[in-house]
Structure 1
Amino acid sequence: MYAIRCLAVLLLLVPATAACGGGEERNGSSLSLEGETFSIQPAGQGGRLVGYDASSGERRFSLPPGLTTADGTRHFASTVGRSGTTLGQFDASSGEIVRTVKLRGRWSLAGLSPNGRWLALERATQTPGRTHIAITRADSGRPEHVLELGGDFDVDAVSADGRSLFLIEHLADGRYLIRLYDLANERLLRGSLREKGSEQIMTGYAWSGLASPDGKWLLTLFIDTRRRNAFVHALNLKTGTPACIDLPSGAGGFEMLKRYSLSLHPGGDHLFAVNPALGVVADVDLRRLRVSNEVEFARTAGAVSTVSAISNDGRTLYFASGSRLWGFDSPQGRVRGPYSVDGSVAGVDFSRDGRRLYAVTVGGRVILFDAAGGEKIAA
């Protein structure tokens, strides 16, 4: 978690109120789940990846903490040992090892390109004010670029073509800059990346984020405790241009704002930001870089995290907080639920055909729901 801030003035449309309802259990004996698996990261980004068998609900594999590609097909993890660092690449659907690479020195996985072709590693240093970064190819592990930068930097992202490295520079006064390192020409560009008309130096907390599979967007949820608001920092990885999109923030309490969860529409042109504590679903138009619609529903108390998943056709979004689950029908702009879950939800995912929703509790139990109506499906 690092700090950053952007100033942006955006048009927020008048909220529309949506209906809520309950659900009944239905028999799922006619549904075939044989051979289907799904995976979640219970601790969020950077955590371990756990895979489940959809038909039995049993855990199939658990991969070490690391980063997963934007399309969810591969998982990468770094492990430091006495003789150096081991980089592991795993198949995210089966948990099987694709390849391992040994590196000299103590490196940690700091970032990757959306397509998983390029990895960014950071090395701990005993020299204050110096940052060591290596950019490697995922298929070989061979370092293509080794950087030693003057200053305190963190990796933000690597572009899909491996030509650009986006960095967060930490300043001595606690503020931050977004910087671009031109890997093609091996140089750190002067100045910072910022939205036109915004402040160059920023503050706030990066809470969560995601990258688009097409390599265009890095979308990060930021919470600015000074301005008491939440916003999405939309960084175009192809053009290097950022934009800051304010989200509905209510009274601006930190515990409420951190309950936002982001889900990207499969078409890549819309981002859904949901927050049960605020009782709002915000539709972010990535073409116009603004919130295009807000849908309100009954707020829920409790300082717990929110998880969400969107169907392959982008028409249905499910999100959960604690032991409650909601469905959002995008074409109608309607929120359904809350539906009760027997336990606090750690992650949700859709079946391949989009007809079922898997909800995994923190205890590892898998509960099936009918995606169309929200009814529990009897095992």
Structure 2
Amino acid sequence: MPALARLAVALYALVAMLVAVGAAGAGKGGPSPGVQIGGKGIASNNASLRYVARVSAGQTTVTAYDADGGILRRGSLTGILGIPLVAFDGSLGGLAHNGRSLVLASPDVIAGRSRFVVLSTRTLGLQRTIALRGTWSYDALSPDGRKLYLVEHAAAGSPTYRVRAYDLARGKLLREAVIDPRQGGRAMTGAPVTRATAQNGIWAYTLYQKPGGLPFVHALHTMRGKALCIELPWRGNQGRLFDVRMRVQGRQLILTKLGGVQLATIDTREFVVHAHENPL
């Protein structure tokens, strides 16, 4: 394929992706990947169910599909909402590991507030609406669906942010930020590249690009509200991080290139990095 044709295909794919997510991160402050509107939606752990959010005339319709694509139920909400993206590789979040609740997020700050809703997956009915002043985005959900983790962005366009916990049972934003105690409470900077989650849904691991510093994996214990930042000895162009994917295998978090070449492993008990190939 000629170079110009390859470029046209790439640009078309990029535009299609932006349309699929509603260009949802564009209005957000900081490194939020936004939300997915339309597309394939988010699947349950056993892939027996899939939830898709679509928008029409200022209304959001959430549809639950079975494994064969049959419609099981629908629910409607006022306003524009989508399935939250948790990383720029298209990783999705919002569905509790126990499968009982689904969180949707607004793609934009409206009237100075960021909006989130919690739905019951059994009925797709509204359980809770959350509206927070400022620019916030979704980060993670505890496996029992009782604790929601949100990213509070410092300012529009700023890569500085901190993770906060919201107690869904009590309807309360917890005062203290979720931090790595070894960093002395400093706010984080960076952009989420890819996400992997432990099989039990308790640990959420996010690879972050950090221009001007070392990239790191943010390990979040979603039940305890504890976090660690594990720096990676990356010596190359951090743009190449977007070719990295992660998976949890036993007691290891494995980082690979898109082609499958293993770059590094992280011991998920001791959080020690074992690098295998440059630029790690």
TM-score of Structure 1 vs Structure 2, range by shorter chain: 0.7 to 0.9
Aligned-pair distance for 1:226?
A: 1.7
Aligned-pair distance for 1:122?
A: 2.1
**Which residue, out of 271, 274, 288, partners 2:270?**
288
Q: Name the counterpart of 2:165.
A: 180
Q: Quick check: 1:104 aligned with 2:78?
A: yes
Deviations 1:195-225 (A, max 9, x none): 1121431111101112223121111111111
Provide the aligned C-alpha RMSD in A.
2.9
Is contact 2:97–2:144 with CA below 8 Å preserved after alignment? no
Q: Which amino acid aligns with 2:217?
A: V
For structure 2, the 5+ residue unaligned runs are: 1-24, 85-93
Paired with 1:205 and 1:141, the residues of 2 have a C-alpha distance of 31
Paired with 2:122 and 2:246, the residues of 1 have a C-alpha distance of 30
Counterparts of 1:180-199 in structure 2, within 5 Å, are: 180-198=165-183, 199=185
Secondary structure of 1:87's aligned partner: strand
Instruction: Name which structure has the greater RCO, CA cutoff 8 Å, separation 6+.
Output: 1
Deviations 1:321-358 (A, max 9, x none): xxxxxxxxxxxxxxxxxxxxxxxxxxxxxxxxxxxxxx
Q: Which amino acid aligns with 1:255?
A: G
Aligned-pair distance for 1:235?
A: 0.6
**Which residue, out of 52, 59, 65, partners 2:40?**
65
For structure 1, the 5+ residue unaligned runs are: 5-44, 49-62, 300-379
Q: Name the counterpart of 2:132.
A: 149
Q: Which amino acid aligns with 2:186?
A: Q
Q: Which amino acid aligns with 1:238?
A: M
Is contact 1:117–1:160 with CA below 8 Å preserved after alignment? no
Aligned-pair distance for 1:114?
A: 2.8
Is contact 2:141–2:149 with CA below 8 Å preserved after alignment? yes
Paired with 1:256 and 1:217, the residues of 2 have a C-alpha distance of 25
Paired with 2:69 and 2:206, the residues of 1 have a C-alpha distance of 27
Secondary structure of 1:190's aligned partner: strand
Q: 1:46 to 1:80 in 2, by over 3 A?
A: closer
Aligned-pair distance for 1:151?
A: 1.5
Is contact 2:263–2:277 with CA below 8 Å preserved after alignment? yes
Counterparts of 1:37-76 in structure 2, within 5 Å, are: 64-76=39-51
Q: Name the counterpart of 1:168.
A: 151
**Which residue, out of 231, 240, 246, partners 1:262?**
246
Q: What TM-score, normalized to structure 1?
A: 0.56
Counterparts of 1:1-379 in structure 2, within 5 Å, are: 3=31, 64-82=39-57, 84-91=59-66, 93-110=67-84, 111-123=94-106, 127-172=110-155, 174=158, 175-198=160-183, 199-227=185-213, 229-251=214-236, 253-265=237-249, 267=250, 269-275=251-257, 280-291=262-273, 293-296=274-277
Secondary structure of 1:107's aligned partner: coil
Aligned-pair distance for 1:143?
A: 1.5
Aligned length: 238
Greater percentage in helix: 2
